Amino acid sequence: MPLTAPTPDDVIQAAARLKGVAHHTPVLRSSTADRLLGAQLFFKCESLQRTGSFKFRGAFNALSQLNAEQRRHGVLAFSAGNHAQAVALAARLLDIPAVVFMPEDASTSKMAATRHYGAQVVTYDRYTTDREALSRQFAQERGMTLVPPSEHQQVIAGQGTAALELLEEVPDLDYLFVAVGGGGLLAGSVLAAQARASSCILVGVEPEAGNDAQQSLRSGQIVQIAPPHTIADGARAESLGKIVFSLLQPHVQDIVTVSDLQLLHALRFFAERMKIVVEPTGALAIAGARHGGLDIQGKRVGILISGGNVDMARYARFLAD
């Protein structure tokens, strides 16, 4: 696994690789949201990205740089869902075999989509299995390349291209709110801001129940937590990796947290007012801007809507509650 930290230039190169492969997702506005928060909001809709989340960017960027030998042996990923789909589609586009480990309670739509893209899915118990050890052993036995969901130079660089596009379209942002799981999206966003010499303040948003990144940044060292229970299933990471931490620590203003109830309200707002389907994790950024306690009055604020993959039955319950 490459343990090199990516640079702003890696994000620019990733953008070139993704051109014509990833969607250039739209930036939506909402005057109702602006009024509610007293700010000018710019919603970067990665819920409309291929496979339904920004994760396609990092996965394709990483897989497209494997050599012929690595491609022949295939790739392996462990993921609760969005990274799984992203690796599965990127692998199919590049004609690389893929195996994905998913927790047995992962969203059925995410599991079905991962199989649909052509990956082999292997399930495990998220509360009793050391998934990293399991998949590393599997990768070693079969000579497959492990593609981590965040702690990887080219994955982080790829994720950064979403913020890069937003900063190119809206160069004078004061703030950018970004969901944090393993921290790859926020780390890539840090590099994108550097690549565009933006003075935009970066704020990470985590679920209350899983605030390991907040604890890590505030204490100055990586903090590990137990698997958190939250509806934000894309942000159940238990700790940041070293590369991610090294990028976040000096450049992220703060990490704020939001409750599951605040995420539910945001989902409803997106559906009712903006007519977009957003998954709970994808609503972290707006909930953080609204409830995170930072003074954004009158500011120009980027909101990275990170994904839109949610089982329809579950989504219907969220909206009805």
Q: Which residues bind ligand PLP (CB under 6 A)?
A: 53, 55, 82, 149-150, 159, 179-186, 234-235, 237, 279, 281-282, 306-307
Instruction: Report whether 43 contacts 176 (CB < 8 A).
Output: no
Instruction: Report whether 104 contacts 124 (CB < 8 A).
Output: yes
Cβ of residue 64: shortest distance to ligand PLP, in angstroms? 19
Residues in the chain: 321
For ligand PLP, the closer CB: 40 or 164:
164
Cβ of residue 305: shortest distance to ligand PLP, in angstroms? 8
For ligand PLP, the closer CB: 40 or 289:
289
Cβ of residue 183: shortest distance to ligand PLP, in angstroms? 5
Instruction: At 199, list the tokens.
Output: 């003075």
For ligand PLP, the closer CB: 8 or 149:
149
For ligand PLP, the closer CB: 164 or 185:
185
Helix axes 184-195 and 153-169, enclosed angle (nearest 10): 50
By Cβ distance, which residue is nearest to ligand PLP?
Answer: 307
For ligand PLP, the closer CB: 40 or 205:
205
Percentage helix, strand, coil for the chain under 3-state DSSP, each rounded to 5: 50, 15, 35
The string over 67-84, giving b where at least 16 C-beta atoms fall within 10 Å of a residue's C-beta and e elsewhere, is eeeebeebbbbbbbbbbb
Cβ of residue 53: shortest distance to ligand PLP, in angstroms? 4
Alpha helix segments (H runs only) across 170-259: 184-195, 212-219, 242-251
Cβ of residue 176: shortest distance to ligand PLP, in angstroms? 14
For ligand PLP, the closer CB: 74 or 149:
149
User: How far apart are alpha carbons 305 and 278 in whole angstroms?
Assistant: 8
For ligand PLP, the closer CB: 40 or 82:
82
Cβ of residue 173: shortest distance to ligand PLP, in angstroms? 19
Candidates 102, 192, 187, 101; CA nearest to 150 is 187
Q: 């009805």: which residue's tokens?
A: 320
Cβ of residue 282: shortest distance to ligand PLP, in angstroms? 5
Cβ of residue 297: shortest distance to ligand PLP, in angstroms? 26
User: How far apart are alpha carbons 14 and 277 in whole angstroms?
Assistant: 27
Q: Could you count the other beta carbons within 10 Å of the beta carbon of residue 298?
A: 10
Instruction: At 313, list the tokens.
Output: 């039955």
For ligand PLP, the closer CB: 64 or 85:
85
Q: Could you count the other beta carbons within 10 Å of the beta carbon of residue 271?
A: 15
